[in-house]
Structure 1
Amino acid sequence: MGDKILFVEDEEDLTLIVADTLRGQGYEVITAADGMEGLEKFKTITADIVIADVMMPKMDGFTMAKEIRKLSPTVPLLFLTAKSTIDDVEEGFAIGANDYLKKPFELRELIVRIRALLRRH
């Protein structure tokens, strides 16, 4: 069994494509559609890495990440965002993000970044 990825994204089509691709790479993928669900799932499963959209309903990615950081100071966090201002990037890293990927992104780039983060942790 591969590493466990918690993928938190509100765009259903993107979630299906990414989850399918990552499973094809041998990862176990747990998905959530918003920050609240993502946080609840993080509490019940042990994820090796968390990939989260920033802009989501109910609870955004930054707020969810702050809560996850309280539970696990070391789990790798990768943010996906359509917002690419330096302020957003800065805020993400201040919260404890390990990496950032701007939408739209290449799936191959996402996989390379996941592998790098998992190797480092």
Structure 2
Amino acid sequence: MSDAVRVLVVEDEALIASFVEDALSDGGFEACSVHSAEAALSTFRDGREGCRVLLTDVNLGGAISGWELAQQIREISPGFPVAYMTSASAPDWQSQGVDGSVLIQKPFAPAQLAAAVSQLLGPR
């Protein structure tokens, strides 16, 4: 079992999810990917995956947006680290994002992703 920090990745587009998984892996993290907010919530509640960071797309195409997903996870686990990925919804971050979250604007370089997750976790 690796001791890499596990990141719960929520991205409904398979190509982007794959890119994100590779970027995290290159940055020394381990991705646990799901394709909907609903799946993310059940994975998180289960706790089996041991994820320590949420990295979610904002527009997930389902009933629950990335904004709402992060709010629900924060209700379960206050202070849980959250990073959002978006292209169009960046202006909404100030009003919709949870406290202390970071926003990564698409398109992004793999190193930006790993740096944002590292920033959320602080020194390790």
Runs of 4+ in 1 over 6 A off after TM superposition: none
RMSD: 1.8
% same residue = 25
Deviation by residue 1:24-80 (Cα, 9 ceiling, x = unmatched): 333221101011111111112332110000001222101111110111111110011
Q: How big is the shift at 1:90?
A: 1.4
- Report the Cα distance in structure 2 between the residues aligned to 1:51 and 1:64, rounded to whole angstroms: 11
Unaligned 5+ runs, structure 1: none
Residue matched to 2:112? 109
Aligned residues: 119
> Among 80, 86, 105, which residue is 2:85 paired with?
80
TM-score using structure 2 length:
0.86
Q: Residue 3 in 1 paired to residue 2 in 2?
A: no
Matches of 1:37 and 1:44, distance apart in 2? 11
Mapped contact 2:23–2:111 kept (Cα < 8 A):
no
Structure that is richer in helix per residue: 1
Using structure 1 for the length normalisation, give the TM-score. Answer: 0.88
Unaligned runs of 5+ in 2: none
